[in-house]
Amino acid sequence: MKNYFALYQDFVQNSEPPAVFHAWSSISAISALLGKKCFVPQGHFTVFPQLYVVLVGDAGSRKTTAMDVARKLVEMVEEVPIAPDSATRESLIDEMSDSKVCAELNGRDVSYWQSSAFVSELEQFLGGRHINQAMVGFLTAIWDRDIFKERTRKGGNVIVHNPYFTMLGCCTTSWMNDKLKQDVISDGFSRRTIFALGTK
């Protein structure tokens, strides 16, 4: 029997996106589907399969086409929470705080709070023309936190226990070159992100 990746490649073999877009989209789907039910223990810390992946290519390079295949696959599994297409930092935190996933792992019950974002325009997700440093900071901070706390002006404290967030996004090469300046590169977001460049 063929494995997941071979089957995925068979499914998309006659489509237009570059192979690298399909490859990283399929890996992103696995990241969302596994959640914290899968991990690699590394002594004092544990590696979970969460990923931030950004497909980078010129306009018309079929980035969104590749992303949509992965998204539809994940949407078929009702237990995997998916973030809204357009979300603010605050709404994303609220959505995660209501997205508890329960599973059994090695004979014991585990729970974590998950969300997966599929972003056709990374520019809009990160704040439009001007990078929203608060959103970038949130994506950086939630990567390896056991608990995330947020104090809101009206609602008091919002707590996300054992968070697990994955993202598959798209952006153009020109936007990445123009907007992802030193302040974003140096704050840790880029070290947590895989940028997959597709060419003809």
Q: What is the mean pLDDT of the chain?
A: 83
In tens, the pLDDT along 122-179 reads 888 877 666 677 788 888 888 888 888 877 655 667 778 889 999 999 988 887 777 6
Place of tokens 């998309």: 12
Residue 53: its pLDDT value, please?
95
Q: Which two tokens stand for residue 36?
A: 């914290």
Residue 51: its pLDDT value, please?
93
d(CA 179, CA 184): 9
Whole-prediction pTM: 0.86
Average pLDDT over residues 85-94: 77
Give 31's pLDDT tier (boundaries 50, 70, 90): very high
Strand order in the sheet with 163-171: 100-105, 108-119, 163-171, 52-56, 193-197
Give 33's pLDDT tier (boundaries 50, 70, 90): very high
Q: Which two tokens stand for residue 85?
A: 């297409």
CA 195 to chain centre: 12
Give 93's pLDDT tier (boundaries 50, 70, 90): confident
Percent of the chain at pLDDT > 70 equals 89
Residue 166: its pLDDT value, please?
92
